[in-house]
Structure 1
Amino acid sequence: MVTSDSILQKKGCIIIPELIDFSQNHQWQVILVNDGSTDRTPQLLRTFENEENVTIINHKVNRGYGGALKTGLSHVKTPFAITIDGDGQHNLQDVESLFEFAVEKDADLVVGWRKSKQNSGFYRELGKAFIRQFTKFLMPLEIHDLNSGMKLYRTELAQKYIHICPNSMAFSDVITLVFINQRHLVLEYPITIKPRKAGRSTISTSTALETLLEILNIVLMFNPLRIFLPLSLLFIGFSLIWGIPILIAGRGVSVGTLLLAITGVLLLVLGLIANQLSDLRIGLLSMVMNQEDPSQKEKMD
């Protein structure tokens, strides 16, 4: 499945024909999602609408990176789905490698690890490293390339989880964390990256901040105590460090000590309440997901 704001440039179709030929040789389905492009992309995509096993979807307006992926994943009819970007950086030979690896390991999600990726600049790499360390602090994480655009999903699971993921660039990070939190088998496999053939990156500082907020939101949804408990212990610990010397000196309990201790207790109580709400929400979510969807079952058969 390919998504892009503008995958076809003035030079013409430089990505799609190769992708279609490769997929047809393997008898795979191709879903092309045009996310509200304002250039000639819709017209050029029409030239491929009669190709075998090719589905073309056009958004009337731009829904965002995650919105395009949601649309594509919701139309998948095969047991596995793989997503790639429309800038030509991904090697199509890696598609087959990821698929074979997923089948061999019975994986639910395989992340394409850009182990030898092109240098994207110090500032951007620093931001990615910070996001990964921030995520690793909040939850167990063994994935090196969290926001890789090439991922192979078990379709049934991806279609269950996409509705709780954002429409923004954070989709790629968040859906991986959802799979991890739900105890599905998430692995990674090295892939190669080629120079960008089309388009340009839209990742910016605001994108990174939005991703951090979405990651925080997912952690609060699945394991809020992972955030509230350390904060609570931090405030209570500071209250003890602040208050014990004053208490030993015979000057009683200071206002600062009380303020820190009460804040710590309040954070602990809020964490326990949030954890109860999280359990209820996850329970309701599981009930909805476990309800048999005849249309989805028919697509997968």
Structure 2
Amino acid sequence: MTDKEGTSAGLSIVIPALNEAASLRELLPELKQRFPSAEILVVDDGSTDDTATLRKELDVRCIRHPYNMGNGAAVKDGARHARGETLVFMDADGQHLPEHVEHLLERFHTEDLDMLVGARNSAGQAGLLRGLGNRIFNLLASWMTGHRVLDLTSGLRVVRADRFREFLHLLPNGFSYPTTSTMAFFRSGYSVAYEPVDVRARTGTSHLNIWREGLRFLLIIFKIGTLYSPLKLFAPLSLVLFVAASVWYAYTLLTEGRFTNMSALLYTTSLLTFMIGLVSEQITTLMFAHRNYERRD
């Protein structure tokens, strides 16, 4: 919601930035005009351009890192220092517009959500290869969380500050904070929704290495998935091993008339994998039960 309706009090807009002075020069005045009561917090992640000078000119609050610590580190630092009860995270590259923030805030407060993500369409993806990768990640994350994930890597989102800070210890220092926070919210039973947004072409070049970060995104999906629902990973893996053992046993029985050591190994591994997943699931359940008990106290 907008300041015209008196709803941006208690709002902090956190913008991690690395050498994005060109786009910030246009974005920051627009945000200040549209949300005069909101705290606008730029986290300068070791920029070498005139970002520091720009924020002084525009009288915007800024946290400056002495060197490049990573996008996730900037987001975590911004979340720790932000004063608002509602946090908006948006990229500094010019893709996200102030009207996007306005639309997200209207729905966020109307529906009383815990997280609302700006979901880009196919035209908003940076290249065909990255768009294809994001679709694959969305499908994997949907399977791991049991909820439909429309845009796992979007940097535009509105969250409740207290909810988001619960997961700061899980967030990586690199470019994967959207992935981790989205899956953590889903698996914790917090309400998450998506709002379609049409983003502009970014200003400047991307700091993202698609191959390195793509592998990192994949690892994070499994890391968070196994942290919150271990059987989602261990049960299918156990089933694959059991099927492989059965196929090998059938083959050796028909060709050699015996039960081989390889079949025994595969069956044993299948059973152990399932038991590890079961124990992990119980540990996760106890962990969350303890956390919920502490929150009630």
Flag whether TM exceeds 0.5 (same fold): yes
2:21 aligns to what? 8
1:216 aligns to what? 222
Contact kept, 8 Å, 1:149 with 1:172, in 2: the verdict is: yes
Which range moved further: 268-277 or 181-190? 268-277
Go from structure 1 to structure 2 and tell me whether the alpha carbon gap of 1:18 and 1:250 turns closer, same or farther (over 3 Å shift).
closer
> In the alignment, does 2:83 pair up with 1:77?
yes
Contact kept, 8 Å, 2:21 with 2:54, in 1: the verdict is: yes
Q: Output the CA distance in 2 between the equivalents of 1:131 and 1:285.
A: 29
2:49 aligns to what? 39
Deviations, residues 108-160 of structure 1 (Å, cap 9, x unaligned):
10010112633522221122122222223323131211111110101110122
One-letter identity of the residue aligned with 1:3:
P
> In the alignment, does 2:248 pair up with 1:242?
yes
Which range moved further: 90-99 or 274-283? 274-283
How many angstroms does 1:275 deviate by? 2.3
Secondary structure at 2:180's aligned position in 1? helix
Contact kept, 8 Å, 1:91 with 1:192, in 2: the verdict is: no
Secondary structure at 2:113's aligned position in 1? coil
Q: Output the CA distance in 1 between the equivalents of 2:199 and 2:158.
A: 16
Contact kept, 8 Å, 2:46 with 2:67, in 1: the verdict is: yes
Go from structure 1 to structure 2 and tell me whether the alpha carbon gap of 1:104 and 1:127 turns closer, same or farther (over 3 Å shift).
same
Contact kept, 8 Å, 2:145 with 2:186, in 1: the verdict is: no
Q: Output the CA distance in 1 between the equivalents of 2:180 and 2:192.
A: 13
2:30 aligns to what? 18
Match of residue 111, structure 2, among 101, 105, 108 = 105
One-letter identity of the residue aligned with 2:40:
V
Which range moved further: 207-216 or 197-206? 197-206
Contact kept, 8 Å, 2:24 with 2:94, in 1: the verdict is: no
One-letter identity of the residue aligned with 2:51:
T
One-letter identity of the residue aligned with 2:52:
P
Secondary structure at 1:3's aligned position in 2? strand
How many angstroms does 1:203 deviate by? 3.9
One-letter identity of the residue aligned with 2:223:
N
One-letter identity of the residue aligned with 1:274:
S
Which range moved further: 272-281 or 77-86? 272-281
Go from structure 1 to structure 2 and tell me whether the alpha carbon gap of 1:245 and 1:123 turns closer, same or farther (over 3 Å shift).
closer
Contact kept, 8 Å, 1:81 with 1:155, in 2: the verdict is: yes
Q: Output the CA distance in 2 between the equivalents of 1:104 and 1:111.
A: 15
Q: Output the CA distance in 1 between the equivalents of 2:127 and 2:268.
A: 45
Give runs of aligned pairs for residues 1-301 of structure 1, distance below 5 A.
Answer: 1-9=14-22, 13-24=25-36, 27-49=37-59, 54-115=60-121, 117-118=123-124, 120-244=126-250, 246-247=252-253, 251-283=257-289, 285-286=291-292, 290=295
Which range moved further: 163-172 or 192-201? 192-201
One-letter identity of the residue aligned with 1:125:
G
Structure 1 runs not aligned, ≥5 long: 293-301
Aligned residues: 284
How many angstroms does 1:21 deviate by? 2.1
Q: Output the CA distance in 2 between the equivalents of 1:237 and 1:195.
A: 48
How many angstroms does 1:280 deviate by? 4.1
Q: Output the CA distance in 2 between the equivalents of 1:225 and 1:284.
A: 20
One-letter identity of the residue aligned with 1:238:
A
2:11 aligns to what? none
Which range moved further: 190-199 or 177-186? 190-199
Contact kept, 8 Å, 1:165 with 1:171, in 2: the verdict is: yes
Deviations, residues 208-236 of structure 1 (Å, cap 9, x unaligned):
10111111111121111111111112111
How many angstroms does 1:256 deviate by? 2.3
One-letter identity of the residue aligned with 1:218:
I
Contact kept, 8 Å, 1:8 with 1:198, in 2: the verdict is: no
Instruction: Provide TM-score, normalisation by structure 2.
Output: 0.87
Go from structure 1 to structure 2 and tell me whether the alpha carbon gap of 1:92 and 1:202 turns closer, same or farther (over 3 Å shift).
same
How many angstroms does 1:177 deviate by? 0.5
How many angstroms does 1:242 deviate by? 2.5
Deviations, residues 51-81 of structure 1 (Å, cap 9, x unaligned):
xxx4211111222111111111222222311
How many angstroms does 1:199 deviate by? 4.8
**What RMSD, in angstroms, separates the aligned Cα atoms of the two structures?**
2.3
